[in-house]
Amino acid sequence: MDMNIYLVEWWAKERLDELRAAVGREQLAESLRQKPPLRVTLGLALISLGERLQGSRAGATTPAAGSSAAF
C-alpha cells in the first residue's frame, strides 16, 4: 500500500505542532515556579558539604551499641 506523501506531511506537521505546544506549556510552567531564596540554597549546600567532609568520621563519634553512656 502506497502512502500519500501529503497525508504523511500533514501528520508530521500536526505532531510537530503538538510538540511545540507541549514545550511552550512546559516553559510557561517552569517560569512560574518559585525558586528558593539564595540563602536557602546556600545553606543546603553548606550542610551537604559538611556531611561530605565528615564522611566516615560521623559514625565514629557515636557510642557502640553494647557500651553504656551514663552521664
Is the pLDDT at 60 greater than 60, yes or no? no
CB distance 62 to 55 below 8 Å? no
What is the tens place of the pLDDT at every residue in 25-48?
999 998 888 888 999 999 999 999
- pLDDT at position 36 is 86
Return the SS3 of 69: coil
Q: Indicate the pLDDT class of residue 70, thresholds 50, 70 and 90.
A: low
Helices assigned H by DSSP within 1-71: 5-32, 38-54, 57-60
